[in-house]
């Protein structure tokens, strides 16, 4: 009896273990979700319908609850001359029975202005009904910015070399910005001989808070900044398209000269983007943009660099070219102004001493270096025939001569 009981107990243990393993195996299996190809085809159909202005087709792949918001977006996008619109699915995760979440890169291109698409990351919620998958939610990925058409009705003004898109702005204001951008583009083209589109897209949101939404950052970071340029450094000719984003509050208080300066500076960033890389120090990218903006204006160094002029006259001559950290928004305003002014005068020194062509060659040579370390040193040697120590000494002397 004892032997039989032992065998029965062992058998019960084996059965129990098998049951536990079976349950564990069931628990480990995730609910089946759509494969990425199936979702890619769904989004491809959605994109084609938008470009073909097929509202019914645009709504076909969406959950009915999304239809009102989708119709609104469809109407707003009609104001933008789209030359391309598409998603690239990068990941699909099951989220329960008949549900999934996809991550995708949205790229869109404005006809006649963008040589490459502007891109942003999106999170798409998906649900299956009757064997077919539908989009039930569409939102920015964490840290990704909003898009202008998601902030309100879009107004559009087309210039000779610019497209200005605004929300909550008067047609007169948008026309004035388009005229200023039209003047900025040829001014940049005269100074920068590198290849670029020769056109610029400017976004004008309703407020500085809305500007922060377009940048995916707190509005406080940009409250005193009249405009910024979005873009991806180091992307080469296929880099995503740039956008100049205007802070309507800070821009409004500028005079005509200030507005011209701001848009020329930002347009320079658009023109030089493909040759601006992680090897490019901020003093060079910002200094070059200011050099182009001030070029031909007749402004003296003291007028263009008042904060640095005060420091130099007080005997506080900077010992080195500005570090990247000196250009951070939200820091001390006077210190950031001196950094911009110092970068501008470094570029002005190269243009005056070696010539404007050498300045643009130097910019391109720095950006072509495979890494930040050694980039400036090599370009100084190869293009200008000098060293960092000699250049810094020349720059400090130049500051004293121009600002003292």
Q: Who's near 235: CB < 8 A, 6+ residues apart? A: 273, 274
Predicted local distance difference test score (pLDDT) of residue 222: 85
Backbone φ, ψ for residue 146 (5° rounding): -75, 170
- pTM above the 0.75 mark? yes
CB neighbour burial string for 309-336, b if at least 16 within 10 angstroms, e if fewer: bebbeeeeebeebbeeebbeeeeeeeeb
Residues 115 and 217 in one domain: no
The answer to whether residue 397 sits within a structural domain is yes
Give the end of a domain, one of 256, 272, 288: 272
Residues 58 and 106 in one domain: yes
Residues 155 and 266 in one domain: yes
Per-residue pLDDT of the chain (404 residues; tens, 9 = 90+): 434 444 343 443 333 333 333 344 444 445 556 888 999 999 999 999 999 999 999 999 999 999 999 999 999 999 999 999 999 999 999 988 899 999 999 999 999 998 889 999 999 999 999 889 999 999 999 989 999 999 999 999 999 999 999 999 999 999 999 999 999 999 999 999 888 889 999 999 999 999 999 998 888 888 889 999 997 666 556 667 899 999 999 999 999 999 999 999 999 999 999 899 999 999 999 999 999 999 999 999 999 999 999 999 999 999 999 999 999 876 678 899 999 999 999 999 999 999 999 999 999 999 999 999 999 999 999 999 999 999 999 999 999 999 98
The answer to whether residue 288 sits within a structural domain is yes
- Token pair 């121009």 is found at 402
Residues 213 and 304 in one domain: no
- The CATH number given to whatever domain includes residue 281 is 1.10.390
The answer to whether residue 404 sits within a structural domain is yes
Number of independent structural domains in the chain = 3
DSSP structural state of residue 30 = P
Residues 284 and 225 in one domain: no
Strand stretches in 208-269, DSSP E = 227-230, 243-246
Query: For the chain, how far is it from start to end, CA to CA, in angstroms?
Result: 110
The answer to whether residue 16 sits within a structural domain is no
Count Cα atoms within 13 angstroms, Cβ side, for 310.
6
Predicted local distance difference test score (pLDDT) of residue 330: 67
Contacts 24+ apart (CB under 8 A), 385-388: none
Residues 362 and 243 in one domain: no
Structure tokens at 205: 């949101």
Give the end of a domain, one of 272, 291, 308: 272
119: domain range?
A: 36-144
The answer to whether residue 22 sits within a structural domain is no
Residues 119 and 80 in one domain: yes
Q: Tell me the C-alpha distance between 336 and 349, whole Å.
A: 20
| Angle (CA) 170 69 86, round 5° | 90
- The CATH number given to whatever domain includes residue 224 is 3.30.2010.30
SS3 content of the chain, % helix, strand, coil (to 5): 55, 20, 30
- The answer to whether the CB of 247 falls within 8 A of the CB of 226 is yes
């Amino acid at each position: 009896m004892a032997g039989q009981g032992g065998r029965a107990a062992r058998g019960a243990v084996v059965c129990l273990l098998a049951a536990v393993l079976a349950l564990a195996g069931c628990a480990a299996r995730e609910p089946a979700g759509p494969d990425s190809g199936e979702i890619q085809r769904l989004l491809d159909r959605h994109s084609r319908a938008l470009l073909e202005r097929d509202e019914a087709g645009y709504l076909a792949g969406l959950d009915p609850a999304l239809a009102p918001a989708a119709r609104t977006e469809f109407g707003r996008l009609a104001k933008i001359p789209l030359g391309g619109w598409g998603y690239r699915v990068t990941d699909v995760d099951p989220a329960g029975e008949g549900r999934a979440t996809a991550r995708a890169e949205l790229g869109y291109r404005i006809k006649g202005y963008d040589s490459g698409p502007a891109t942003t990351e999106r999170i798409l919620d998906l649900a299956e009904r009757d064997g077919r998958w539908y989009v039930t939610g569409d939102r920015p990925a964490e840290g990704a910015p909003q898009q202008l058409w998601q902030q309100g009705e879009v107004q559009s003004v087309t210039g000779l070399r610019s497209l200005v898109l605004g929300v909550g702005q008067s047609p007169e204001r948008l026309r004035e910005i388009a005229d200023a951008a039209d003047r900025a583009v040829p001014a940049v083209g005269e100074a920068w001989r590198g290849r670029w589109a020769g056109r610029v897209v400017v976004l004008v949101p309703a407020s500085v808070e809305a500007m922060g939404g377009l940048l995916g950052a707190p509005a406080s970071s940009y409250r005193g900044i009249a405009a910024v340029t979005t873009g991806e450094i180091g992307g080469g000719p296929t880099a995503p398209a740039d956008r100049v984003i205007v802070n309507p509050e800070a821009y409004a208080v500028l005079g005509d000269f200030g507005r011209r300066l701001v848009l020329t500076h930002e347009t320079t960033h658009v023109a030089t983007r493909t040759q601006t890389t992680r090897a490019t120090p901020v003093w060079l990218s910002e200094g070059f943009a200011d050099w182009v903006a001030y070029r031909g204006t007749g402004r003296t160094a003291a007028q263009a660099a008042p904060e640095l002029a005060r420091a130099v006259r007080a005997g506080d001559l900077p010992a080195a070219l500005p570090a990247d950290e000196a250009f951070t928004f939200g820091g001390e305003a006077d210190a950031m102004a001196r950094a911009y002014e110092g970068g501008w005068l470094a570029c002005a020194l190269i243009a005056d001493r070696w010539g404007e062509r050498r300045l643009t060659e130097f910019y391109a040579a720095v950006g072509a270096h495979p890494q930040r370390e050694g980039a400036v040193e090599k370009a100084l040697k190869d293009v200008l025939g000098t060293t960092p120590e000699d250049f810094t000494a020349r720059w400090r002397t130049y500051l004293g001569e121009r600002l003292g």
